[in-house]
Amino acid sequence: MLISEGKVNVNSQVETRMERKLLEITDRLIKDLRLLQFSSPVAYVYNPLVYAREPHFHYLSRYGGGGSEAVFVGMNPGPWGMAQTGVPFGEIDIVKNWLGIAGDVGEPHPAHPKKPIEGFHCRRSEVSGRRLWGLFRKLSGTPERFFARFFVVNYCPLLFLDADGRNITPDKLKSGERAPLLDACDSALLRCIEHIGPARVIGVGNFAEERAKQILKERGVRVGKILHPSPASPAANKGWENIVLAQLRDQGIEF
């Protein structure tokens, strides 16, 4: 299965205002990922860096200049979040009404009928994004206050689906297909962290923490984690917000 990239629709004026280094890192990652192929059980692969390029670049352009205190790193897109908006953990209502980001979103080809890409017209809400950005909104008030200290990225930009439309996370890929994917994403994350220069990196979940530790083990950057907000996690459904606030305090982060 080749990566489904779909139609690209980008306003050139957006690119001229872009935070240039993050744009270069993104385009290098897109190029590296184009070389990869995936076999069963993977049946569909979406790359929102391509078909949702415009809102993704709005995100980088508007908010990519901060993050010196910490960078939060997620695993990969959810079907109703970044897959729709191009923004990490990008629950649609928060992306539009708090982050103030919109833009044209194309469609990956082929797309699974159970996981269509409707962009900002999608009526579904992603719980993980709603929890994560909802907490940041509650604690920071404005996105400017949040991004003056922090930034949010996804380790892997690809959404993997099986023939029935079920998510396949990167850690569940076949080892021979997972290794080159990790190489490309490791390289992109390392360049991103070197460019931003945060005091610490916080993995959203175990997988992101493990990759960050592996990448940064000789870089002098502290790495921690918070509980992933996925509703598939029983722990996250039992007081996720309070758990995460305690984890952040333990890592010296106060809002």
- What is the CATH class of 12-250? alpha beta
Residue 170 is predicted with a pLDDT of 97
Torsion of CA 51, 126, 63, 141, to 10 degrees: 160
- In the numeric block, the tokens 């970044």 are attached to 82
Q: pLDDT averaged over the chain?
A: 93
What are the tens digits of pLDDT across the range 20-65? 899 999 999 999 999 899 999 999 999 999 999 999 999 999 999 8
Entry pTM: 0.93
> Are the beta carbons of 71 and 202 closer than 8 angstroms?
yes
- Cα distance from N-terminal residue to C-terminal residue, the chain: 44
Percent of the chain, pLDDT > 70?
93
Rounded to 5°, the CA angle 201-202-207 comes to: 110
Residue 35 is predicted with a pLDDT of 87
Residue 66 is predicted with a pLDDT of 87
Kindly indicate the confidence band of residue 17, based on its pLDDT and cuts at 50, 70 and 90: very low
Asked if residue 18 has pLDDT above 60, the reply is no
Query: Domain limits of the chain?
Result: 12-250
Residue 15 is predicted with a pLDDT of 41
Asked if residue 3 has pLDDT above 70, the reply is no
d(CA 43, CA 164): 9
What are the tens digits of pLDDT across the range 100-132? 999 999 999 999 999 999 999 999 999 999 999
